[in-house]
Structure 1
Amino acid sequence: MATIAVYPGSFDPVTNGHLDIISRGANVFEKVIVAVLHNRSKQPLFSIEERVALLRETTKHIENVEVDFFDGLLINYVKNKQATTIIKGLRAISDFEYELQMASINRKLDEKVETFFMMSNNQYSYLSSSIVKELAKYEAPIEDLVPPSVEKAIRNKFK
């Protein structure tokens, strides 16, 4: 049986930290589906279509990565994709507390689905999409935080 993992997130925008988790996840699982969440409680900078396109562009070199999007409960999406694992990247203890709660409820909804926690690379432990957007808004340097195509897209949004 193929091991399929889903790495969910808003990816608004995708950062080098996200790409690190995607790349490392692709080394562990036969297939990684990067699933962009349509989060109705947030006002994203990029549309779902733009986020999917940026992710496809920045992950095209990783053969076993697929990019998709979803709306609704993550566990339903995971089951629909016949995945067995959810990948979650952790930067700090505060991430763990929230993600443990989510993993527990997902486990209650479907005990066959495991959550795989990956610690962020130390060089990305401070990095978030929110920080990138805030820096870009004030024209601060972001080239070390996101891939070039993402930097260009962000700069265009703030022109």
Structure 2
Amino acid sequence: MTKKIALYAGSFDPITNGHYDIVLRAAQIFDEVIVAVMTNTSKNYMFSYEEKEKMINQQFEKLDNVSVVDGENKLTVDLAKELKANVLVRSMRNTNDFIYESGVSQINHLQDNNIETLYLLSDPKYANISSSMIKEIITFGGNVSQLVAPEVEKLLKNKIKGIH
């Protein structure tokens, strides 16, 4: 029987409780879930790839079927083929995500029509969370404790203070 391997790709700058929820749910569906820290050329990052990988690894260290890889400067489909992942897991929070993700899925399908995309709808309590919003809230001294894990909140606060 073929092992069902899913790739969940994103910039994760930082990983949010919404991302965490999607990975947990995917880990119940697939034999293996690979979380890939990818490059999004339209974003300015707060954390390095190494910092994001460490942050994500801490979140999932107790799950045997979840791993983290660096997908810096790679196409998601190429990384999926390299890792033998046959499904891309994507999440949707709202209709804006639906429109964006539909385009991403079509482009990925053009790159390789053997890789499927599975969408998981966000839990409603996470539907308005984005990494960009979290960075803005923390920058101006707001409370993000319900939006990210305690370790991530600490890293965010240290980053704002200039502590690496």
| Partner in structure 1 of residue 69 of structure 2 | 68
Report if aligned partners of 1:38, 1:69 keep a CA contact under 8 Å in 2: no
Q: What is the alpha-carbon distance in structure 1 between the residues aligned to residue 39 and residue 48 of structure 2?
A: 9
* Structure 1 spans left out of the alignment, 5+ residues: none
- Please give the alpha-carbon distance, in whole angstroms, between the structure 2 residues aligned to 1:127 and 1:63: 27
> How far off its partner does 1:41 sit?
3.5
Q: Could you list the runs of 4 or more consecutive aligned residues of structure 1 that deviate by over 3 angstroms after TM superposition?
A: none
Tell me the residue number matched to 2:36: 35
What's the secondary structure of 2:43's corresponding residue? coil
Task: Give the CA deviation at 1:113.
Answer: 0.4
Q: CA RMSD in A?
A: 0.8
Question: Residues 17 and 121 of structure 1 are in contact (CA less than 8 Å); yes or no, is this contact kept in structure 2?
Answer: yes
User: Hey, what's the Cα distance between the residues in 2 that align with 1:3 and 1:153?
Assistant: 33
Q: Identity over the aligned pairs, expressed in percent?
A: 38
* TM-score, scaled to structure 2: 0.94
**Comparing 33-42 and 94-103, the one that deviates more:** 33-42
Aligned residues: 159
Segments of structure 2 that go 5 or more residues without pairing to the other structure are: none
CA contact (8 A) 1:38 1:48 kept: no
TM-score (norm 1): 0.97
Secondary structure at the aligned position of 1:42 is classed as coil
